[in-house]
Amino acid sequence: MSFDLKGTLKPLTALKQFGQKPHTLTNVPFIPREAADRYRGLHYNNLDECIGCGNCSTICQNQAIDMIPVDGIEGKNGDSGLRPRVDHGRCCWCGLCVDVCPTGSLSLTKDYVYVSEDANSFLWTPGVDNPEGDERVSFFSTKETSLNDLGRIPMPELEGMERIKSFAEVVLGYNEEQARAEASRCISCGLCTEACPEHMHIPEYINAIAGGNDEDAVRIIYDNNPLPEMCGKVCTRRCEDICAIAHRGDPIAIRWLKRYATETVENADLLKEIINPEIKEPNGFKVGIIGAGPSGLTAAYYLALKGFDCTIYEANSKAGGMTMYGIPRYRFPEDSLDKQIEYIQKIGVRIHFNTKVGKDISFGEIYHNYDAVFMGVGFPKPWTLGIEGEELHGSIQAVNFLYEINNGKKVDIGNKVIVIGGGNVAIDAARVSARLGADVTILYRRRVQDMPADWEEIEGAEAEGIHIISQAIPIQFHGDEKGHITTVEYLKAEMVPDEHGGRPKPIAIEGSNTVIEVTAVLGAIGQQGDYSFLEEEFDEKVKIERGRIVVNEKQETTLNKLFAGGDSANRIADAISAIADGYRAVKGIEELLMKGK
Amino acid sequence: MREKATTLYIGPQHPGITGNMMVRLKVEGDTIVKAATEVGYLHRSFEKLIEKRNWLQSFTLLCRFCVPEPDPVEESYARAVEMIEGREVPERAKYIRVLVLELARIGSYLLWYGGQSGSLGLYTVGQWSVGDRNYILDLFEALTGARVYHMYIWPGGVRRDFPKGFEKKVIDTMDYLEKRLDDYDDLMFDNAIFKKRTKGVGIIDKEKAVEWGVVGPPLRGCGIRSDIRIDDPYEIYDKLDFIVPVEEGGDIWTRALVRRQEIRQSIRIIRQVIDNIPGGEYYNKVPNPQKWALPKGDAYARTEAVRGEVGMYLSSDGSINPRRAHFKGAAYVHAITLLEHLLVGENLADVAAIMNSLGTCPPEIER
Ligand SMILES: Cc1cc2nc3c(=O)[nH]c(=O)nc-3n(C[C@H](O)[C@H](O)[C@H](O)COP(=O)(O)OP(=O)(O)OC[C@H]3O[C@@H](n4cnc5c(N)ncnc54)[C@H](O)[C@@H]3O)c2cc1C
Ligand code: SF4
Ligand code: SF4
């Protein structure tokens, strides 16, 4: 074989590599190489931003994350109080946990060296055990890179100016495709369940909707809410306020999804068929219920399922309380409750309509005839402003106005209306007035961002051409010689920070008097209770504080076997809190009557 | 007189290739009379695990199919998902994917330089090439946040856009490498020992190669031009100007020559990507992974890896998990069907070199 001279000499050229810069680091003392700016190293968690939703733990396919309590971090509304602990022996540094973290609190750092002979020491809590990690953050998520679905599926609605032409429902509801897509945004963290006064099984029913199982969703929903279609339309949705996704995007439309699921069922018979409730044999106990508002209906429904004989006494001709007689029809059409009430009656609840306790039947009679009584009589009496001119013609209380309108009556408000207040009742009154053709202005003492009304309601009002004058304190109504209101006089206010750290207070500015012409004023600054139906012997025993009936955690009042709930006992005063009260009372009544049974 | 046959074992601990695999040899003297490949050291049940995970979670497994070149598996999975769903991938993302795939090809071939030379006792090559591969890994680190397991190509596009100044870094690295490749020619391809030990050794029969489904450099080293990038172009390969080198002969040497030329072609592709990459989105975001269901359907996406054609078959029953995932690897044919046949009659000293030349990847065989 011939000698390959070239092939023998060529490799020797490698010798020229002597003296070349080596690939490796040769610095002494040894300084580790700095990782890239995007490096996926050991975790860091910003503990203040983290809400303990556990989404990081759910996505991790290595089961490297568990959620644990951490000293000094308390659970609160919207925060489970838990924080992720990472097993750095299991982690594969994929960073999926980072990309699904809805708050963006979790990140990976440039640190990658960790040596220990103790295997257990690889298990540590980012942020707690490496507080210095925030300076080493390298792989993090932004809104752009986040794997959360941040944008809500828009709800189809009537156009702003189209709306005020009638009382037609503004919100049109999701169709199937929209509902599935919206439900699919949910990460099932369950923080909402905690925030819901009734602790509805939100992730579970949303999951059912996302998976195309609407009937399952309805069953899950009815587990602890017998008025879900109502809630699906008008709930104050505390759940959405703390939705994990809301930290960077739009909260899941939990309310609209509940509405969607319940609207898929056409009538009460089908509802009964789908829920197929287990109704216990009659247990021989009778419960009397005063008021067919949300709290009374809830108590009745779940008591009836448990075999109690339930009778409701209701002053009005329809059930639903303030939701039926307060909430305007464009938010809550008149037939919205029919199916739900019919179903409640179908499982055995009796409702005596047009029966006012204290007039058509005495409280004493009910109290003595039933083994237990639940009272859900609401907060019907409006507060007045207590200023001069309030007695004038055209100065109307908003709840009364709404009651009349919902009852199909006519109220003459003219064409220039001022609404006073910043809550939902004020917005409702304003939007109803706009539908009656008036030019409407809302006067509110504080700033717009301080309004207790739902932001969607405020936006809705603005879209309908309603003006809001904020930081305005009414001081007097003026009238003409016939006693009809003509103008409202108010003072401008400045916001003064509260020394005790509370919310800023409006302080009237001297001499800033402003006068606006009006044809009517609607007062909406709150309501109070009316317990005049309680005869003296009971009145003494039922403790009332600041207008509300005092109850314990089982909704028991200070009078034996009397329970109460809803607005008349609960400061929060919304439908879902009333439902929660009714549900709790069921347990209280069951415990009281079935003791030892 | 006939010599008595002895049984020898090569492996299973990293037998000169990446991953654990064993070849049981029957030798008479120095000559192999029978070879049997034994696997079973690395089975991780990835395909089954994929069925248990949602469509996104699986992507952390994919890179582990083949350690030296993880990206084609990520790419084929992502593309199969996109095919089932009909999901559009932004043009920019396609360019970035090709950049990643070609960088991976270069990195992987450099590692192979080391392995192939090492199997012949030329250890210097490996020291250089592993060092040079690290410059590629630096690029990966800057782009993806990780050096080896990138977990970067995922359904809808890629995970992050170029970091600042990345294009220049890529070009600088390519300039360096292009010059550096000459050094490898001197040390390896012009090396008398390398030539002697590879020419005429481990010859694959052209017809058998086709019959058995041999792919990649082993097939192209038999003079057959076959490359998915050209035959069934994906991403943006149809917009690129490059050639698929072939060599006649079917021995270790021609397979080596094919790879040697392919590195230069990859550099050529990468330069085109950097020159022509459009702006815009790099990711068409998928929905919330927890609830992301694909429509019913199935798809098979094939990609040209350094080992040859690989492909991911995915089937969806309309739920949030794949109903079935099946990966078609190249290494199975090469390390079992082909290798067992090829070793017979060869010299014991050449076993490692032959194994290396086939692009065998045990973790891919077993996955
Ligand atoms: C205008 C307006 C808008 C609102 N909008 C919303 C909203 O969007 N979302 C929301 O969650 N909440 C809203 N609320 C609040 C919500 O309607 C109440 O919190 C809820 O209805 C309270 O339920 P309840 O069971 O306490 O009683 P209520 O709904 O107040 O019902 C009490 C019932 O008891 C009956 N009753 C009272 N006294 C007697 C008696 N002596 N004899 C017989 N029957 C009697 C009444 O006729 C009534 O039917 C709104 C309230 C108003 C006024
Ligand atoms: S996903 Fe983010 S916010 Fe949620 S628990 Fe994990 S680190 Fe905290
Ligand atoms: S980086 Fe990946 S493997 Fe590690 S904890 Fe996060 S999700 Fe789990």
Q: Domain limits of chain A?
A: 43-139, 382-528
CA of A135 to the centre of ligand 2 (A): 19
Rounded (to 5) percent helix, strand, coil in chain A = 35, 20, 50
pLDDT-based confidence at B59, cuts 50/70/90?
A: confident
Query: What pLDDT, on a 0 to 100 scale, did the predictor assign at position A160?
Result: 78
Cβ proximity of B124 and A14 under 8 Å = yes
Q: Is A373 helix (H, G, I), strand (E, B) or coil?
A: strand
Query: What pLDDT, on a 0 to 100 scale, did the predictor assign at position A30?
Result: 78
- Calculate how close chain B gets to A249, using CA atoms only, in Å: 13
CA of A60 to the centre of ligand 3 (A): 5
Give the pLDDT mean for A315-323: 95
3-state SS string for chain B: CCCCCEEEEECCCCCCCCCCCEEEEEEECCEEEEEEEECCCCCCCHHHHHHHCCCCCCHHHHHHHCCCCCHHHHHHHHHHHHHHHCCCCCHHHHHHHHHHHHHHHHHHHHHHHHHHHHCCCCHHHHHHHHHHHHHHHHHHHHHHCCCCCCCCEECCEECCCCCCCHHHHHHHHHHHHHHHHHHHHHHHHCCHHHHHHHCCCCCCCHHHHHHHCCCHHHHHCCCCCCCHHHHCCCCCHHHCCCCCCCCCCCCHHHHHHHHHHHHHHHHHHHHHHHHHCCCCCCECCCCCHHHCCCCEEEEEEEEEECCEEEEEEEEEECCCCEEEEEEECCHHHHHHHHHHHHHCCCEHHHHHHHHHHCCCCHHHHHC
Cβ proximity of A570 and A582 under 8 Å = no
User: What phi and psi values does residue A549 have, to the nearest 5 degrees?
Assistant: -70, 135
Beta strand spans in A125-175 (E): 137-139
What are B14-41's pLDDT values in tens digits? 766 777 888 999 999 899 999 999 888 8
Query: What pLDDT, on a 0 to 100 scale, did the predictor assign at position A114?
Result: 86
What are A44-72's pLDDT values in tens digits? 999 999 999 999 999 998 999 999 999 99
User: Which ligand has an atom closest to residue A64 CA?
Assistant: 3
Instruction: Tell me whether residues A147 and B56 touch, CB distance under 8 A.
Output: yes
Give the pLDDT mean for A180-195: 96
Query: What pLDDT, on a 0 to 100 scale, did the predictor assign at position B330?
Result: 87
Query: What pLDDT, on a 0 to 100 scale, did the predictor assign at position A21?
Result: 80
Q: Which of A92, A98, A185, A204 to mutate to test the interface with B (most CBs of B within 10 A)?
A: A92
Query: What pLDDT, on a 0 to 100 scale, did the predictor assign at position B3?
Result: 64
A60 lines ligand 3 (CB under 6 A): yes
Give the pLDDT mean for B97-111: 96
CA gap B115, B18 in Å, rounded = 9
- What is the helix (H) or strand (E) element at residue A400, kind and residue range? helix A398-406
CA gap B315, B297 in Å, rounded = 6
pLDDT-based confidence at A15, cuts 50/70/90?
A: confident
Closest CA to A164 of A582, A464, A562: A464
Burial grade of B5 (CB within 10 A; 0-12, 13-18, 19 or more) = middle
End-to-end CA distance of chain B: 45
Predicted confidence (pLDDT) at residue A577 exceeds the cutoff of 70 = yes
Give the pLDDT mean for A368-383: 95
How many Cβ atoms sit within 10 Å of the Cβ of residue B13? Answer: 9
pTM: 0.90
Give the pLDDT mean for B301-322: 94
At position A389, the amino acid (one-letter code) is G
CB nearest A139 (choices: B145, B288, B289)? B145
Closest CA to A421 of A413, A412, A430: A430
Query: What pLDDT, on a 0 to 100 scale, did the predictor assign at position A237?
Result: 92
At position A12, the amino acid (one-letter code) is L
Query: What pLDDT, on a 0 to 100 scale, did the predictor assign at position A42?
Result: 96
Query: What pLDDT, on a 0 to 100 scale, did the predictor assign at position B2?
Result: 59
Residues from chain A that touch B58, judged by Cβ atoms under 8 A, are 61
CA gap A409, B157 in Å, rounded = 60
Query: What pLDDT, on a 0 to 100 scale, did the predictor assign at position A233?
Result: 95
Closest atom of ligand 1 relative to the A355 alpha carbon: 43
CA gap A566, A290 in Å, rounded = 12
CB nearest B60 (choices: A6, A61, A211)? A61
- What is the helix (H) or strand (E) element at residue A283, kind and residue range? none
DSSP letter, residue A29: S
What are chain B's domains? Answer: 43-328 (1.10.645.10)
Predicted confidence (pLDDT) at residue A210 exceeds the cutoff of 70 = yes
Query: What pLDDT, on a 0 to 100 scale, did the predictor assign at position B16?
Result: 66
Predicted confidence (pLDDT) at residue B217 exceeds the cutoff of 60 = yes
What is A43-139's CATH number?
3.30.70.3270
Give the pLDDT mean for B217-225: 94
Predicted confidence (pLDDT) at residue A198 exceeds the cutoff of 70 = yes
Query: Which residues have a Cβ under 8 Å from the Cβ of B284 and sit 6 or more positions away?
Result: B87, B88, B89, B90, B93, B156, B157
DSSP letter, residue A66: E
B104 to chain A, any CB pair closer than 8 A? The answer is no
CB nearest B145 (choices: A11, A38, A100)? A38
Structure tokens at B167: 């294009």
Of A230, A233, A323, A366, best ligand 1 pocket probe by most atoms within 8 Å of the beta carbon: A323
The residue to which tokens 């405020």 are assigned: A458
Q: Which of B253, B288, B292 to mutate to test the interface with A (most CBs of A within 10 A)?
A: B288
CA gap B325, B56 in Å, rounded = 13
Q: Which of A184-198, A509-523, B63-77 has the lowest mean pLDDT?
A: B63-77
pLDDT-based confidence at A364, cuts 50/70/90?
A: very high
Q: Which of A5, A9, A10 to mutate to test the interface with B (most CBs of B within 10 A)?
A: A10
Query: What pLDDT, on a 0 to 100 scale, did the predictor assign at position A274?
Result: 96
Instruction: Tell me whether residues A14 and B289 touch, CB distance under 8 A.
Output: no
Query: What pLDDT, on a 0 to 100 scale, did the predictor assign at position A359?
Result: 94
Give the pLDDT mean for A475-479: 95
A127 lines ligand 2 (CB under 6 A): no
Closest atom of ligand 2 relative to the A104 alpha carbon: 2
Closest atom of ligand 3 relative to the A96 alpha carbon: 7
Query: What pLDDT, on a 0 to 100 scale, did the predictor assign at position B316?
Result: 97
What would you report as the CA-atom Rg of chain A, rounded to the nearest whole angstrom?
A: 31
What are A136-177's pLDDT values in tens digits? 999 999 999 999 999 999 999 988 788 888 898 999 999 999
CA gap B319, B48 in Å, rounded = 16
Residues from chain B that touch A248, judged by Cβ atoms under 8 A, are none
Please give the interface size between A and B, counted as residue pairs whose CB atoms are below 8 Å apart: 113
End-to-end CA distance of chain A: 106
Predicted confidence (pLDDT) at residue B156 exceeds the cutoff of 90 = yes
Cβ proximity of B99 and B75 under 8 Å = no
DSSP letter, residue A155: P
Q: Which A-chain residues 148-207 have CB contacts (< 8 A) with chain B?
A: 148-149, 181, 183-188, 207
Predicted confidence (pLDDT) at residue A193 exceeds the cutoff of 70 = yes
CA gap A258, A235 in Å, rounded = 10
Residues from chain A that touch B287, judged by Cβ atoms under 8 A, are 149, 181, 184-185
Query: What pLDDT, on a 0 to 100 scale, did the predictor assign at position B239?
Result: 96
Query: Which residues have a Cβ under 8 Å from the Cβ of B245 and sit 6 or more positions away?
Result: B220, B257, B258, B261, B262, B265
Q: How far is CA A276 from CA A215, A216, A219, A350, A576, in A?
A: 11, 12, 9, 20, 24
Q: Which A-chain residues 47-106 have CB contacts (< 8 A) with chain B?
A: 58-59, 61-62, 92-96, 99-100
What are B237-284's pLDDT values in tens digits? 999 999 999 999 999 999 999 999 999 999 999 999 999 999 999 999
Looking at domain A382-528, its CATH class is: alpha beta
* Cα A100 → chain centroid: 23
Residues from chain A that touch B289, judged by Cβ atoms under 8 A, are 59, 96, 100, 147
Of A56, A67, A99, A189, best ligand 2 pocket probe by most atoms within 8 Å of the beta carbon: A56
Closest CA to A525 of A328, A325, A390, A377: A390
Q: Is A59 helix (H, G, I), strand (E, B) or coil?
A: helix
Query: What pLDDT, on a 0 to 100 scale, did the predictor assign at position A490?
Result: 96
Instruction: Tell me whether residues B288 and A186 touch, CB distance under 8 A.
Output: yes
Q: What is the DSSP string of A303-348?
A: HHHTT-EEEEE-SSSSSSTHHHHTS-TTTS-GGGGHHHHHHHHHTT
> Biggest alpha carbon distance in chain B?
74
Query: What pLDDT, on a 0 to 100 scale, did the predictor assign at position A268?
Result: 94
CB nearest B145 (choices: A13, A24, A39)? A39
Closest CA to A75 of A189, A199, A194: A194
pLDDT-based confidence at A350, cuts 50/70/90?
A: very high
Q: How far is CA B241 from CA B238, B268, B269, B272, in A?
A: 8, 8, 7, 8
B144 to chain A, any CB pair closer than 8 A? The answer is yes
Give the pLDDT mean for A16-22: 82
Closest CA to A392 of A418, A430, A410: A418
Closest CA to B92 of B150, B5, B167: B167
CA gap A495, A510 in Å, rounded = 14
Instruction: Tell me whether residues A58 and B290 touch, CB distance under 8 A.
Output: yes
Structure tokens at A264: 């898929």
DSSP letter, residue A546: T
Q: How far is CA A250 from CA A143, A240, A347, B242, B359, in A?
A: 12, 9, 39, 47, 50
Cβ proximity of B146 and B140 under 8 Å = yes
In the beta sheet, which residues pair with residue B288? none
Closest atom of ligand 3 relative to the A86 alpha carbon: 5
Give the pLDDT mean for B121-128: 90
Q: How far is CA B80 from CA A298, A321, A481, B331, in A?
A: 51, 56, 82, 21
CA gap A32, A298 in Å, rounded = 66
- Calculate how close chain B gets to A74, using CA atoms only, in Å: 28
Of A45, A148, A189, best ligand 2 pocket probe by most atoms within 8 Å of the beta carbon: A45
Instruction: Tell me whether residues A61 and B61 touch, CB distance under 8 A.
Output: yes
Closest CA to B256 of B324, B337, B347, B191: B191
How many Cβ atoms sit within 10 Å of the Cβ of residue A273? Answer: 11
Predicted confidence (pLDDT) at residue B149 exceeds the cutoff of 90 = yes
Cβ proximity of A485 and A456 under 8 Å = no
Mean residue pLDDT of chain A comes to 94
- Calculate how close chain A gets to B276, using CA atoms only, in Å: 24
What are A249-306's pLDDT values in tens digits? 999 999 999 999 999 999 999 999 999 999 999 999 999 999 999 999 999 999 999 9
Complex ipTM more than 0.95, yes or no: no
CA gap A554, A585 in Å, rounded = 6
Residues from chain A that touch B60, judged by Cβ atoms under 8 A, are 61-62, 92, 94, 96
User: What phi and psi values does residue B27 have, to the nearest 5 degrees?
Assistant: -120, 145
